[in-house]
Each structure stands twice: as structure tokens, then as C-alpha cells.
Amino acid sequence: MLRYLTAGESHGKAIVAILEGFPAGLKVDVNRLNKELKRRQSGFGRGRRMQIENDRVEITSGLKNELTLGSPITLLIKNKDASIEKLHKVMAARPGHADLAGLLKYGFTDIREVLERASARSTAATVGLGALCKEFLDEFGITITSRVLSVGGEITAKGITAKITEATKNKDTVGGVFEVSARKVPVGLGSYVQADRRLDSRLAAAVISIPGIKSFEVGLGLGYAVSFGSEVHDAIYYNKNTGYSRRTNNAGGIEGGVSNGQEILLRACMKPIATLMDPLDSVNILTKKPAKAAVERSDVCVVESAGVVAESACALVLTEAFLEKFGSDSLGDIKKAYANYSARIAHA
């Protein structure tokens, strides 16, 4: 079983992740992990924090001579801004953030004790772990990418830039939609036999768990709601030389909770960031009197970055499902099992 934990606060000493169940024998390129972390920090609309932090990962366990050992892998990403003990108290919750719900749940008297962990800064750990999984998936030709489909309803690069610029000028924020694509995923990852083994439900949970994600769909998604079955289901064809094929991919590469060999296509909506430079109405948690919501150093738009995080979240799920199917101890053994399986289904 592939499992992981992350830890760390936004302005704490570091972000930490531990990955267990990763196979032995994979050569790890730390530079690639750092490039993925850099991608997470990029994109028009990011705030001043990204100018302060230059995320670099240190792998403190699980490797010898750059090869994975099969033991738990620890990633350490240090924060340059490690000022958690010095920062001021936060007294007015931000609408749309975890501030108030977290405060009431844990009984805090300072919203900072919520926001430090609820912050999307934690996604640096997700990206570090996902980058490791991408290196594993590369061994089998599987690639994962993302792209922005729209921001604030705009779909062209010019329109998106203008929308983010408008939000910045108005001290506002803006959200949008991104798409994640996984290519060369083999048939048979996931299962239809139990709800928690379905590949689509696992991918949905991984993407929705990213801070700020409010909707998720696979393939045609909501398009199914306005169509007849004859218009949207992907007809199946067979050629003795090439095997089974489809001419469409409305299912988004997953049928019945199982990957079907086509490109996996996922879309998600990232809401506008909750921190507004011109804040909304709120309440002072101490006096209970009206107050403007807290203003923290934040971004204007992170749709592009959210797509990068979603790539990593999906890489973790696909790697786990791959290891379930083909074994998880040794990369060499996994490759043999995959080759045998590929040969069998090629002649099915």
C-alpha cells in the first residue's frame, strides 16, 4: 500500500512529507523534483510569498546513491519565512476560508492557529511527493500534464491576463477551471468491486482535497446531463492487428471505476482565493462586533498552480493503483509483471 503523511505550517520551519510503500530500485532526480516545485510557484497572479520562497527539496531518508530503498522516503522543504512565533494574532475570519469553522472546531482564540495549517502552502508537499511518483510512472511511459481552460469565464490567453489584471487592480481575486491529462495509462487500474477501489472516486478525492477546489468531473462530465446515451457513449471497435479501439473518449479514460486504456481527462474548478485585499464583512471573534475580514499576504489567481498540484495528486493515485496491480517491492519485478500483462491483453 502506498501511503503518505504531510506536516508543517505556512510560516513554520518547514514542510515535511513521508512516503511509504514506494518500490526499491528507482533512480531519483532531485532536480526534477525542484523543477516541479518551481512550477507550483509560477503563474500570472501569484503573490509576494512566491518571491520570498525558493522551494528546494531535501530527501533525508529512503535513498542510497540516488536509488530508492523501498523504505519510507522523507522530503523536507524549508520555509525561508519561518516567522510563525512572531506573527500577529488574526481576529476576523475570512469568508470562504477554514478560519471560522476551524476556530470553532478546535476552540482556538487566534485564527492564525487555523490558517497556518489550512494554508495552501501545504501543497508543496503534495507536489514533491507527486514528482517522485511521476518519475516512477515515466518508467512505464505514463505522463501527466495540466492546462488552464478558463479564468473568470475568459478562455483566451489575452482575456485571462486581462481578468487577472482587473482583479489585481480591484483588490479582488478570481478563480477558474483547469484540466489534467494522464496519457498511456494501461487498461485495468482501479476496480469496480468496491466503492473505495474505483479509480475515478480516488482521483476525485485527491483533487477535491486540494485547498480551494470546489468541483470535479471526468471526461464529458456535466455534458452527460444534456445528452442521449447514443450520443455520448464511446463505441468499441476491433482490428486483429491493433486490438480494441474507440473513436471518442467521452468517458475520460475510466469506465466502471477502471482505466480503459484511453487518455484520462479530468477537470476541476478552483474558487477565487478567500483573502481579499479589499476585505469582506466579518466579525471580531473576541468582541463579536462587526469587522472587516483579515488580510494576509496572498495571491490573486492560482488556477495554473492548482493544475500543477492536481497533476501531483493524480500521480499519487495512479502510482498507488499501478503498484496494486503489478506489485510494489522492486522496480525490476514490477516491470516484468507489467510486460507479462501487456503481452496478455495485446492478444485478448
Q: Decide if pLDDT at 46 tops 90.
A: no
pLDDT surpasses 70 at 15: yes
Partners of 238 in the beta sheet?
A: 244
Residue with cell 476551524: 102
Nearest to 303 by CA among 267, 275, 279, 276: 267
Mean pLDDT of 278-298: 95
Residue 49 has pLDDT above 60, yes or no: no
Q: What is the mean pLDDT of residues 231-259?
A: 96
Is 221 a residue whose pLDDT tops 60? yes
- Give the highest mean pLDDT range of 36-45, 258-267, 296-305: 258-267
Q: Which of 188, 189, 227, 228 is nearest to 2 (CA)?
A: 189
Tell me if 218 sits within 8 A of 250, measured CB to CB.
Answer: no
CA dist 325 to 22, 125, 164, 170, 336, Å? 14, 26, 43, 51, 12
Question: How far, in Å, CA of 206 to CA of 127, rounded?
Answer: 12
Q: What is the pTM of this model?
A: 0.95
The residues near 255 (Cβ < 8 Å, ≥ 6 apart) are none
Residue 45 has pLDDT above 80, yes or no: no
> Taking 70 as the threshold, does the pLDDT of residue 48 lie above it?
no
Residue carrying C-alpha cell 474507440: 246
Q: Give dist(CA 129, CA 133) in Å, integer.
A: 7
Residue 98 has pLDDT above 60, yes or no: yes
Tell me if 282 sits within 8 A of 275, measured CB to CB: no
**Domains defined for the chain, CATH in brackets:** 3-346 (3.60.150.10)
Question: What pLDDT sits at residue 348?
Answer: 80
Q: How far is CA 207 from the centre of its chain?
A: 5
* CA neighbor of 313 nearest in space, from 212, 216, 210, 213: 210
